[in-house]
Amino acid sequence: MTREDYLKELRLRLSHRMTMPELERMMGYYGAYFEEAGPQREAEIIRELGTPEELVRRITEGRIEKALECPDAGSGGRKSSAGALWGVILAVCAAPIAISLAVGLTALTVALGLVVLCAAVGAGAAGVGCIAMGAVAVWAGFAALLGHGIATTMYFVGGGMLTAGIGLLLLGGVVFLVGAALRGAAWLLERVLRRGEARA
């Protein structure tokens, strides 16, 4: 078998085992190997390399070992595919946890909202009641001015004004609490929307 026959058979056997750039690089390497040896050493080089079938088997086994030892050098696509596969697996495993956290956070937010609402309604009702009681007490104090004297009037008027003041404080607290709750809800909603836009 001559060098030309050897290289021709080698190319034929390698053509369906590797890409065209790899094939050309491999054939260039062995062609240069024969060129350096010279015509007088062709038979010796062929014996050294073995038959084209044996050489193809060694080349293929060597490529597999290299791919296993150095995945960055020979299998960038496989590495990226494996990375993508692991990403999908982790996403699937993390989905139940993320859903549970989202449900828990939503339930906590709703519960806090209900607490704030109940507190606001209760404090508002108490404030309105105190103002109403204060107004009644002041009216009763002035009504008692003629029959019971100035001391009774001052007692009722003072108590009524104090009660009305407490009612006004309660209403002010309700306004502050509702405003803070609305600002917090707006801030939380803005954070969620920004995070969604960043992920998109």
For residue range 129-179, what is the model confidence (pLDDT) as tens digits?
Answer: 999 998 998 888 888 777 777 888 888 889 889 998 998 998 898 888 888
**Alpha-helical runs (H) found in the chain:** 3-14, 20-37, 42-49, 52-69, 71-74, 76-143, 145-148, 150-199
**Whether residue 200 has pLDDT greater than 80:** no
pLDDT for position 129: 92
Mean pLDDT, the chain, whole residue set: 79
The two tokens of residue 43 are 């038979």
**Cα distance between residue 15 and residue 56, in whole Å:** 10
Question: Which pTM was predicted?
Answer: 0.42
pLDDT for position 151: 82
pLDDT for position 71: 41
Q: Per-domain residue ranges for the chain?
A: 3-69, 94-199
> Do 130 and 169 meet the contact criterion of CB atoms below 8 Å apart?
no
Q: What percent of the chain has pLDDT over 90?
A: 6
